[in-house]
Structure 1
Amino acid sequence: MSFTVKTPTPILEALQAFAPTSSKNTLKKWLKSKRVFVNGHIVEDAKALLSQGSTLSLGPRKEYFRASIEILYEDSNLIVIYKPPGLLSVATDKKEFYTAHGLLKSRVPGKKVFPVHRLDKDTSGILVFAYTETARESLKKQFEEHSIYREYRAVLLGRLEEKKGTWTSYLKETASFHVYECAPCPEAMEAITHYEVLHETPKTSFVKFILKTGKKNQIRVQAAHRGFPVLGDKKYGTSSFERLALHAYALHFIHPISTKKLCFTYPYPKEFATFLPKTFP
């Protein structure tokens, strides 16, 4: 969220207008902790005077950033992170600041950060963002050509009869953003997912998914359509779990500049352990 200064104003007065319920001490703490940005640059001086048209914004608390995302790899061209469940990948509304994309932009104000792909809000796992347009175009092309390896782990409700195979279907989306399977037609998107059951309990299946395509809600819709919804999926299945039991476990791609193959994995969440033996790798 941002605030535009209409007339030349001392920064503390501008902050008071931006956050009228906050005390003066709180506003000074924001400045001291480098959370206040003016036109994309950090401002710490409590005596600063803002010119007309300046844009004032507030960055996240540092502890929020540390608790929200974990950096797995970073260079001048791209960054690979772990996104926890409950955090949007990118904003769906200009007012949404607490997204993986927004948090990365707040690390180095003024630095460009380009989204390349997304994870559903309630899905945890690995995400890559580009720092340059060249890197973005290269990564987007790899996604479009389905040359990037994407592996997910999920807990499904029920036991699959076929323990290994491929789901091929066609997906459409309603005006209310609900994705569903349909017959092949020009408006539908083909979705291909390879799967393998890694472990079972009497009522659940722990499954490895490898995406051939990457359509919105692909795994969740295909699993639910076959009668095995992802545990905790309030949208397409059952909510009888503390979170959506879907995790982006592995991501392999070619570095846009060096052309070296980069491979990343992030352990499945501890909540999944309830459905696995203690000796499970």
Structure 2
Amino acid sequence: MPDTGSRLPAAPPLPMRDGIAASRVYLPRGPWKTLGEFLPGRFPHVPAEIIARRLAQGEIVDGTGVAQRADSAYRAGMWLWYYREVPDESVLPFDLPILHQDARLVVVDKPHFMASTPGGRHLRETALTRLRRLLALPDLTPLHRLDRETAGVLMFCADPAARGAYQSLFQARAVVKEYEALAPLPGGLALPLTRRSRLEDVRGCFVVREAPGAPNSETRIELMGLDGCPDGMARYRLLPLTGRKHQLRAHMSALGLPIVNDGLYPRRQAATAPDDFRQPLQLLARAIAFRDPFLGIMRRFESTRSLRLSQ
């Protein structure tokens, strides 16, 4: 059967709903005769009865918006659309201050424990969903991301026509990102230094590790001082040239300077451990700076947050 439906429709057949865009799933070639046969295997973590209910209620549609049923014929090459559900999502008791807003950009001061965009167990309580709903900007999209555990400056594009110009700045490494972290004293480590290494995903785990091979990550690490730090701790400025997953956390840990309250580097807890709001990761995206491609001026946005350990 030719994959005649592999191209996505010009626009999703389901509109934005309460700040949440419709999700999609592609139907590959395979032995399935009906959607009722295929979908439970495609979403093994969703109870089969929930998939059956959603099909029966017409909540899963094809690219033209036509509701599909359990006995609908399986057509390889087509897309299905639906609204993702997270029934037991916890409400985060944190504000999302807006640092700047204009016709093209929205810049916020993200709190710890809030995901930048929907994924996994986080859907409504994410920066993107909150902002789309609060500002009535359904076309808002992220220009970069912060780890859920990291707080600080996060930028979004409000104008789809401007997204490419801003995104190209990140691709060209023309955006200066400055982070701040609390970690153990450097001991005999000479600072400042630049850490270059190859970071690779660890199969089956939501972590990365340094591996042999050509470096694909680079971070400059500077000692800011000891003022306001608990005994044995210091404040660091981290300047990433690249943007690999968990790059700052992995580099600091590899140097023997794990960031305070980091449960993954070195690994001390499961990635699914419950959040302890009293002990946020002591990592802050302090500032971001770039030359605006439309205004031609240097712009810098800085977080108003501070890193402090609970007493």
Same fold (TM over 0.5): yes
Contact 1:232–1:245 (CA under 8 A) maintained in structure 2: yes
1:98 aligns with 2:125: yes
Q: What corresponds to 1:141 in structure 2?
A: 168
Q: What corresponds to 2:111 in structure 1?
A: 84
For 2:243, what is the secondary structure of its paired residue? coil
Aligned-partner Cα distance in 1 for 2:260–2:252: 10
For 1:112, what is the secondary structure of its paired residue? coil
* 1:54-69 pair list within 5 angstroms: 67-69=94-96
> Residue 95 and residue 250 in structure 1: after superposition, are their counterparts in 2 closer, same or farther (change >3 A)?
closer
1:162 to 179, 184, 190: 190
1:224 aligns with 2:253: yes
Over residues 122-145 of structure 1, what are the superposed CA-to-partner deviations in whole Å (9 max), with x where a residue is unaligned?
A: 111000000122322122211111
Over residues 218-266 of structure 1, what are the superposed CA-to-partner deviations in whole Å (9 max), with x where a residue is unaligned?
A: 1100010111100000011368981100000010022242222211112
Q: Which AA in structure 2 matches 1:163?
A: L
Give the drift of 1:106.
0.5
More strand by share: 1
1:204 to 233, 242, 261: 233
1:193 to 205, 210, 219: 219
> Residue 242 and residue 66 in structure 1: after superposition, are their counterparts in 2 closer, same or farther (change >3 A)?
closer
1:119 to 140, 146, 155: 146
Aligned-partner Cα distance in 2 for 1:77–1:89: 18
Over residues 153-186 of structure 1, what are the superposed CA-to-partner deviations in whole Å (9 max), with x where a residue is unaligned?
A: 000123242121211111000232211111115x
Contact 1:197–1:208 (CA under 8 A) maintained in structure 2: yes
Aligned-partner Cα distance in 2 for 1:143–1:253: 9
Q: What corresponds to 1:179 in structure 2?
A: 208
Note the residue ranges of structure 2 that are not aligned, 5 or more in a row: 1-14, 20-57, 60-64, 66-81, 85-90, 270-275
Contact 1:159–1:202 (CA under 8 A) maintained in structure 2: no
Aligned-partner Cα distance in 1 for 2:251–2:221: 11
For 2:236, what is the secondary structure of its paired residue? strand
Aligned-partner Cα distance in 2 for 1:56–1:234: 32
1:257 aligns with 2:294: yes
Q: Which AA in structure 2 matches 1:226?
A: L
Aligned-partner Cα distance in 1 for 2:83–2:242: 41
> Residue 41 and residue 225 in structure 1: after superposition, are their counterparts in 2 closer, same or farther (change >3 A)?
closer
Give the drift of 1:79.
0.5
Contact 1:89–1:100 (CA under 8 A) maintained in structure 2: yes
For 1:101, what is the secondary structure of its paired residue? helix
Aligned residues: 220
> Residue 105 and residue 196 in structure 1: after superposition, are their counterparts in 2 closer, same or farther (change >3 A)?
same
Give the drift of 1:205.
1.9
Aligned-partner Cα distance in 1 for 2:260–2:138: 38
For 2:280, what is the secondary structure of its paired residue? coil
Q: What corresponds to 1:30 in structure 2?
A: none
More helix by share: 1
For 1:193, what is the secondary structure of its paired residue? strand
CA-atom RMSD in angstroms: 3.1
Over residues 60-87 of structure 1, what are the superposed CA-to-partner deviations in whole Å (9 max), with x where a residue is unaligned?
A: xxxx899421101111111011000010
Give the drift of 1:208.
0.5
Give the drift of 1:272.
5.3
Give the drift of 1:268.
4.4
For 1:68, what is the secondary structure of its paired residue? coil
Q: What corresponds to 1:14 in structure 2?
A: none
Note the residue ranges of structure 1 that are not aligned, 5 or more in a row: 1-37, 43-51, 58-63, 275-281
Q: Which AA in structure 2 matches 1:254?
A: R
Contact 2:207–2:246 (CA under 8 A) maintained in structure 1: no
Contact 1:40–1:109 (CA under 8 A) maintained in structure 2: no
Q: Which AA in structure 1 matches 2:194?
A: T
Contact 1:155–1:205 (CA under 8 A) maintained in structure 2: yes
